Amino acid sequence: MVMRASINSTTIELVQGDITRQDTEAIVNAANTSLLGGGGVDGAIHHAAGPGLLAETRTLGGCNTGDARLTGGHNLQARYIIHAVGPVYRPDDVEAARLLASAYRRRLELAVEHGIKSIAFPAISTGVYGYPLDEAAEIALETVISLVAQSRDIGLARFVLFDARAFDVYSRTLSAMADKKEDLRLL
């Protein structure tokens, strides 16, 4: 399943799949503050990238919630991994929403600093960290779309959804946004 939209010179893509198998220049990891690996996306990325990744993340000294760090991709097809730490969800917590938006913003800033033109994101914070998919989709898509629309540095922003339900929620959110934003067009 694939859904595409464009805004200025950037393509926004939704796909159902595995983040470790993406051919974008960078993929994003849903890391924890230690950056030393964990379950879910983090475990899958460390497994696929190999032990060189852990050796590199050990040198970084962790990462605060809402922030991001860049490493090499090691055994992955992607050249870089951007490790971002999302917040743990609590209902009606505006701080969690701010930190989730901040994690997306920091990833894009790091990508632009390193000249990265294509990037793939998993649905950060929607697994063990408990963020409801519809709220997370809104924050992820709003933050990324508004930033890429301003900067024009990123050619492709791909959201990789692990299952059909997540794909469905993201695609409905993207369609609703395209109805409201004149410069966002479904392809």
80 within 8 A of 62, measured Cβ to Cβ: no
Catalytic residue among 23, 42, 93, 179: 42
Nearest to 85 by CA among 24, 140, 42, 149: 42
By beta-carbon proximity to ligand ADP, the closer residue of 129 and 147 is 129
Print the binding letters for residues 79-108 with ligand ADP: x by CB under 6 A, - otherwise: -------x----------------------
Query: Rounded CA gap, 167 and 162, in Å?
Result: 8
Selected binder of ligand ADP within 5, 28, 160, 174 (CB under 6 A): 160
Contact between 16 and ligand ADP by CB under 6 A: the answer reads: no
Question: How near is the Cβ of 128 to ligand ADP at its closest, in Å?
Answer: 4
Contact between 73 and ligand ADP by CB under 6 A: the answer reads: no
Three-class SS state of 24: coil
Residues 39-68 that bind ligand ADP (CB under 6 A): 40-42, 44
For residues 21-45, b (16+ Cβ closer than 10 Å) or e, as one string? ebebbbbbbbbbeebebbebbbebb
